[in-house]
């Protein structure tokens, strides 16, 4: 997925719904927006684009999320697009081909990719070059419209940024760290089931000795097959995301002094002990000013957009026939 240079528009991208069309579609009007119509075929076009894009999505949970939205949510998006387009025409907001070319260059620069890599990314997302250019056209148009209608209300000042930093302080905290030790009973490659069970029994015996109160470090020195054995199994400090997934699921749920059940990895059977935890420090405001500003702009833009689009809807004639 490409990083967008129009981050304030991310919230406009909604999921699409599965199962909109049957075997045959008879086109009809499903909504009227200030005298302009939206048809069933437009609704189905979005469904078709989603279906094609979903084929390229390896993550099944992501695919299910994309197709979980209802017909009405798709129609709401179409209505909003129609209203935005009408407002752009009213304010004579236009986007040239050169504007789109420049936006594409920015996308390539931000993602550090070539033309070929961009094309490959679009293909993976189920987008044609023409569709992508049209998406950028709509995004640029929306940025310019939003800038025009929200300029008076949108302010970025030091006081507001510091208040945002304080209210969302957890976002600007370094990850917590945990210090762990382990005992490893190695499973040789291509080991037969009988040997694996024997090694499991050995590991369970060590675990039982720990439960009876024997010293973890001493048992690590005596029994562990890992190079860390000479240090009592100590592996040092780790942040969330730095450990093997099998370790990660267990480690951060343990308190200092606690040890795990048997954890199986490709290397063998592990017993993990947490020896120390350090809470991540808060990053000073001065070091994250740019991050604070970007997040503030994103969220304030979303809020103001929702207020603005609701006002436009209230002042418009919208008739839904779905």
> Taking the chain (322 residues) in consecutive chunks of 10 residues, what is each chunk's mean pLDDT?
46 36 62 92 72 53 57 86 90 92 92 91 86 88 83 80 94 91 94 94 96 95 95 93 88 92 94 93 93 91 88 93 80
d(CA 155, CA 193): 67
H or E segment at 271? Answer: strand 268-278
d(CA 256, CA 216): 13
User: Running DSSP on this structure, what letter comes out for residue 154?
Assistant: -
Strand partners, 129: none
d(CA 14, CA 21): 19
Locate tokens 């470090």: which residue? Answer: 217
Class for domain 177-278, per CATH?
alpha beta
- Give the tokens for residue 269: 């059977």
The whole-number pLDDT of residue 25 equals 44
CATH 1.10.4030.10 in the chain: give the residue spans.
Answer: 7-149
- Cα separations (Å) of 151 from 23, 93, 156, 292, 311? 47, 15, 11, 20, 16
Give the strands of the sheet with 263-264, arranged side by side.
234-239, 177-186, 268-278, 263-264
The whole-number pLDDT of residue 12 equals 37
The whole-number pLDDT of residue 60 equals 58
The whole-number pLDDT of residue 147 equals 82
The CATH architecture to which 7-149 belongs is: Orthogonal Bundle (1.10)
d(CA 32, CA 317): 8
The whole-number pLDDT of residue 14 equals 33
CATH 3.10.50.40 in the chain: give the residue spans.
Answer: 177-278
């Amino acid at each position: 997925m490409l990083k967008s240079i129009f981050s304030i528009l991310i919230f406009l991208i909604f999921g699409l719904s599965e199962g909109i069309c049957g075997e045959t579609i008879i086109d009809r009007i499903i909504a009227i927006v200030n005298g302009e119509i939206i048809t069933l075929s437009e609704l189905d076009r979005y469904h078709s684009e989603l279906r094609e894009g979903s084929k390229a999505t390896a993550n099944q949970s992501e695919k299910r999320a994309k197709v979980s939205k209802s017909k009405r949510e798709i129609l709401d998006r179409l209505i909003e697009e129609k209203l935005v387009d009408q407002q752009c025409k009213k304010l004579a907001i236009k986007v040239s081909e050169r504007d789109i070319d420049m936006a594409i260059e920015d996308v390539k620069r931000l993602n550090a990719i070539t033309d070929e890599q961009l094309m490959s990314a679009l293909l993976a997302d189920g987008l044609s070059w023409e569709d992508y250019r049209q998406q950028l056209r709509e995004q640029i148009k929306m940025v310019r419209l939003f800038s025009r209608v929200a300029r008076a209300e949108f302010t970025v000042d030091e006081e507001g940024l510091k208040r945002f930093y304080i209210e969302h302080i957890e976002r600007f905290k370094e990850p917590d760290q945990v210090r762990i030790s382990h005992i490893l009973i190695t499973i040789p490659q291509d080991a037969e089931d009988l040997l694996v069970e024997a090694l499991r029994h050995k590991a369970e015996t060590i675990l039982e000795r720990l439960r009876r109160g024997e010293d973890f470090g001493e048992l690590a020195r005596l029994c562990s097959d890992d190079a860390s054995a000479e240090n009592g199994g100590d592996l040092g400090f780790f942040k969330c995301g730095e450990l093997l997934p099998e370790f990660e699921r267990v480690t951060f749920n343990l308190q200092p002094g606690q040890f795990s059940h048997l954890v199986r990895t490709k290397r063998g059977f592990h017993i993990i002990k947490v020896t120390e935890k350090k809470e991540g420090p808060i990053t000073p405001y001065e070091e994250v000013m740019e991050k604070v500003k970007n997040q503030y702009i994103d969220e304030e833009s979303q809020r103001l957009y929702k207020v603005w689009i609701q006002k436009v809807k209230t002042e418009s004639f919208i008739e839904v026939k779905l």
